[in-house]
Amino acid sequence: MRAHEAGALHGNDAAPTWLPYPSDVNTLIDGLWSRTTRRTEDGAVEVGGVSVARIAEEVGTPAFVLDEDDFRHRARAFRDAFAEAFRPLAGADVYYAGKAFLCGAVARWVEEDGLGLDVCTGGELAVALRAGFPGERIALHGNNKSLAEIRRALEAGVGRIVVDSLDEIDLVDAVAAELGLRAAVMLRVTTGVEAHTHEFIATAHEDQKFGLSLTGGTAFEAVRRVLAAEHLELVGLHSHIGSQIFDTGGFEVAARRVLDLVAQVRDELDHTITQLDLGGGFGVMYNTQHTPSTPEALASGIAGIVEKQCHELELEVPHVSFEPGRAIAGPSTQTLYTVGTVKDVRLGGPHHRVYVSVDGGMSDNVRTALYDADYSCLLSGRVSEEQPEVVRVVGKHCESGDIVVKDEYLPADVRRGDLVSVPVTGAYCYSLASNYNHVPRPPVIAVKDGEIRTLIRRETEEDLLGLDVG
Ligand code: LLP
């Protein structure tokens, strides 16, 4: 059991040891903010050439503010770094994992920038297709795909369906037969590697729902069945080991295990597997504890691993693909909130904690409550000369675990009406957003060259009431 963050027996107002006392509480910490974020002379933060004050006035708060240049720069950086590192081998390409954040505009950027797209539900597929994303560059995932999802994907001509279970082999084969085509499939292999990250988001250890286990021969049996199926074409093997991972150690073990299977298939079934997908999971900086690698370092590290292991197993190096989501979308976005109630809570003795309430909360960022994530934040509408003070930024929901930023230094004069920005909210915040307490979801706006463009509009009370048809 983990202790409740805001349970009855809290009572220590000290900053956690990892949180450094800021030399200047107004500073934008390097690496935390999207590439066009800066402070203007009047002290306000601007991003994409637009000040947060203007955003608050024109769009309102809370709002997800997406720095278009930043997103596209990262997408291209991953595309180029992997293409470059694997060029001397059999090449590599990058699929953006849409589960991190997807909308029509993002699908179009990803398309224009030459990446593929990983979708894992019919809904994500629908967004991609409506945006005109070419089917052959789409990969469909999912541990429980419906027949309708499989049919729609095949009709759209998706480049690959990543098959997740033995019975799904029969499903895809049957739908492909019905449509009179051969379906290109990858098999998702569970390598037993547990990534160094929070347990809830480590998806490749054995005792979980994803994939075909190497242990006990399930994955091998799946390969045998796909090769025997009339309407399936085996494109390759897939492995995804987890999320928010900072080093290549987990990829090394996973790649080795998948390549062992490639060798076994060669030896026992006389078939050459020519493609691997090593999934996503590259970590980002949410606070000063995190030190993410560059795309270049990741790409060259993993290319070296794959080359060495193929050499040891006397295998041709396969073409490799990757599926980063968080590392592309996460750092591009900040959530802009307006401060409401500021409460100084006495904790006994000399201890107290300042609770800064904002106009959103766990409905737009559930990651703090769900994964113990430690976000950062900044007073973004102005600078302050006041001393830094540790605060807890909380939302407006009817729940004490409704915490956005557990511990952060803000200036001691933070007050109602101030704007606060939380960086690195571009991945798994909007996509995990809810209407808890009937709070409408915030908009997602793109900012670039002084322009604001609404990508997803703010939900309204009418939207919510419109669903209530009973
Ligand atoms: N490929 C597959 C097969 C995946 O399952 C995932 C993430 C990715 C790629 C992208 O992983 P990324 O590069 O974004 O780490 N909601 C959690 C994360 C769940 C990840 C699920 N799968 C969170 O907010 O941390």
Pick the closest to residue 50 from 42, 60, 40 (CA basis): 40
Beta bridge partner(s), residue 20? none
Dist. CA 95–CA 433, nearest whole Å: 23
Return the pLDDT at 349: 85
Phi, psi dihedral angles at 405 (to 5 degrees): -130, 115
Taking 50 as the threshold, does the pLDDT of residue 203 lie above it? no
Strand-pair category, 444-448 with 403-411: unpaired
Return the pLDDT at 12: 62
Distance 427 CA to ligand 1 centre (A): 9
What residues are labeled active site?
A: 398
- pLDDT tens string 420-451: 999 999 999 999 999 999 999 999 999 999 99
**Which of 102, 145, 243, 284 for a ligand 1 pocket mutation test, highest count of atoms within 8 Å of Cβ?**
243
Cβ proximity of 361 and 404 under 8 Å: yes
Does the Cβ of 191 fall within 6 Å of ligand 1? no
Portion of the chain with pLDDT greater than 70, in percent: 95
Which domains does the chain show, CATH number per domain? 7-67+333-457 (2.40.37.10), 91-324 (3.20.20.10)
Distance 349 CA to ligand 1 centre (A): 43
Amino acid at 340: G
Dist. CA 452–CA 65, nearest whole Å: 9
Does the Cβ of 371 fall within 6 Å of ligand 1? yes
- pLDDT tens string 222-235: 999 999 999 999 99
Return the pLDDT at 6: 47
- pLDDT tens string 84-134: 999 999 999 999 999 999 999 999 999 999 999 999 999 999 999 999 999
Return the pLDDT at 196: 56
Return the pLDDT at 208: 80
Under DSSP, is residue 96 helix (H, G, I), strand (E, B) or coil? strand
Half-sphere exposure of 153 (CA within 13 A, CB side): 35
